[in-house]
């Protein structure tokens, strides 16, 4: 469990929204708050107290929750639906007329689940949309979380190096992606952060291309985007390689993306808004006349999920702070010709940033 008192942090954040109780259902938010890794759980955070509250789960997870949760949680077994009759049992003793303000994650709770909660708790609580409270706390990582992401990034680097030992020319995109995934698992990953992307030639102009059963040809660029999960935390990186001799245009695009990536990376430090970091890298690409070929944001947060806050994009309004983990991944995608993306995973520090992955970024030729 974290050395930081996460329930107390969450209670303070919820109190600022005028909430008496906060519902946190299964998923990354519940894992962050309680340490529970099972698939069926519900925390009812007591905001007025010093943190903690009631934790609901079913028979399958009683022993697991007892081992994973701290003593601030009262673990209860429920044979009923947690976001429904099971939750009603928690509020059964609430006096009529004295409504508790109960926050729920309106971004995650389905319309059907919300209807069940309303039906079961009618007259006992006032439901308050409260999505984002836990997510915002998760944006700033503790040192132990950063260490886990760093370990995942290092494992992923080793897996790619192993995969590249067999070369790229003549192997299918799907074969390379599959071997890379297997290598990460063999080296100890719990799983992949996302299905690896391997795309060469003109197909590389698709930012989220799915690997094909097509052999990688010489004289092309190959983009590989990959990551793994380790101890619950994700990694994410992208490198683009040359297979054989590539043309002057492709080489120029690679140089442009590398310049933009290094400029964006240099701008990562405490203080600037996400959109300001995005603008630094985007200006490099726009100045070269390829602004229309860079259509996605510069980066995103990474942690228990592969995409979380903060965002480095035109819409990123969060100021960077020490402990935040973000990707810096500009790309230029020229339809019918080629695509290049270069991505590092970095931690914002007190004085700047720390890159967590370690493979070189100078254009490498891999045959």
pLDDT tens by residue, 239-269: 999 999 999 999 999 999 999 999 999 999 9
| pLDDT score recorded for residue 264 | 98
Q: What is the mean pLDDT of residues 218-228?
A: 98
Specify burial of residue 285 (Cβ count, 10 A radius: 0-12, 13-18, 19+): buried
Q: Please state, as a whole number, how many other Cβ atoms lie within 10 Å of the Cβ of residue 174.
A: 15
Domains in the chain, CATH or no CATH each? 6-138 (3.40.350.10), 143-355 (3.90.230.10)
pLDDT digits (tens, 9 = 90+) for 207-216: 999 999 999 9
Query: What value does the mean pLDDT take over residues 216-237?
Result: 98
pLDDT 10s digits, 110-137 = 888 888 888 888 777 888 999 999 999 9
Is the pTM higher than 0.75? The answer reads: yes
Peptide bond into 280 cis (omega under 30): no
Phi, psi of 325 (to 5 degrees): -110, 125
**Distance of CA 264 to CAs 75, 166, 253, 337, Å?**
46, 33, 17, 25
Give the chain's mean pLDDT.
Answer: 94
pLDDT band at 84; cut points 50, 70, 90: confident
Whose tokens are 């370990």? That residue is: 151
pLDDT tens profile 278-289: 999 999 999 999
Cβ partners under 8 Å of residue 95, min gap 6: none
The share of the chain scoring above pLDDT 70, in percent, equals 97
Q: Rounded distance, CA 301 to CA 234, Å?
A: 10
The whole-number average pLDDT for the span 90-102 is 71
Mean pLDDT over 69-76 rounds to 95
- Residue 182 in this model has a pLDDT that exceeds 70: yes
Task: Please report, rounded to a whole number, the percentage of residues in the chain having pLDDT higher than 90.
Answer: 84
- pLDDT, residue 88, reads 85
Q: Report, as an integer, the average pLDDT of 164-184.
A: 98
What is d(CA 249, CA 359) in angstroms, rounded to the nearest whole number? 24
51-63 per-position pLDDT tens digit: 789 999 999 999 9
pLDDT the model gives residue 233: 98
Kindly give the residue spans of alpha helices, DSSP state H, lying in 240-331. 248-266, 274-287
């Amino acid at each position: 469990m974290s050395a930081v008192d996460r329930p107390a942090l969450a209670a303070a954040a919820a109190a600022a929204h005028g909430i008496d109780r906060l519902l946190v259902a299964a998923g990354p938010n519940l894992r962050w708050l309680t340490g529970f890794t099972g698939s069926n759980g519900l925390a009812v955070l007591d905001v007025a107290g010093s943190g903690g509250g009631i934790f609901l789960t079913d028979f399958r997870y009683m022993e697991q929750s007892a081992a994973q949760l701290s003593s601030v949680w009262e673990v209860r077994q429920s044979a009923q639906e947690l976001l429904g009759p099971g939750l009603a049992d928690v509020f059964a003793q609430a006096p009529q007329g004295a409504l508790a303000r109960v926050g729920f994650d309106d971004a995650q709770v389905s319309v059907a689940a919300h209807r069940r909660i309303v039906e079961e708790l009618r007259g006992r609580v006032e439901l308050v949309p409260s999505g984002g409270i836990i997510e915002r706390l998760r944006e700033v990582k503790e040192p132990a979380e950063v260490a886990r992401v760093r370990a995942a990034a290092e494992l992923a680097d080793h897996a790619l190096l192993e995969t590249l030992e067999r070369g790229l020319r003549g192997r299918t995109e799907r074969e390379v992606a599959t071997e890379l995934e297997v290598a990460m698992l063999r080296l100890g990953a719990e799983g992949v952060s996302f299905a690896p992307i391997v795309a060469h030639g003109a197909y590389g102009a698709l930012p989220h291309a799915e690997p094909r059963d097509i052999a990688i040809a010489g004289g092309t660029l190959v983009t590989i985007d990959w990551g793994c999960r380790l101890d619950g935390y994700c990694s994410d990186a992208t490198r683009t390689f040359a297979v054989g001799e590539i043309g002057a245009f492709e080489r120029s695009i690679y140089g442009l993306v590398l310049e933009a990536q290094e400029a964006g990376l240099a701008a990562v430090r405490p203080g600037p808004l996400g959109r300001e970091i995005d603008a630094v890298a985007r200006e490099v690409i726009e100045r070269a006349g390829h602004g229309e070929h860079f259509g996605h944001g510069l980066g995103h947060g990474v942690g228990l999920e592969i995409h979380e806050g903060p965002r480095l994009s035109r819409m990123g309004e969060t100021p960077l702070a020490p402990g935040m983990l973000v990707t810096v991944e500009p790309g230029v995608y020229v339809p019918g010709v080629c695509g290049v993306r270069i991505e590092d995973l970095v931690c914002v520090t007190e004085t700047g940033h720390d890159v967590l992955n370690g493979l070189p970024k100078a254009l490498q030729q891999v045959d």
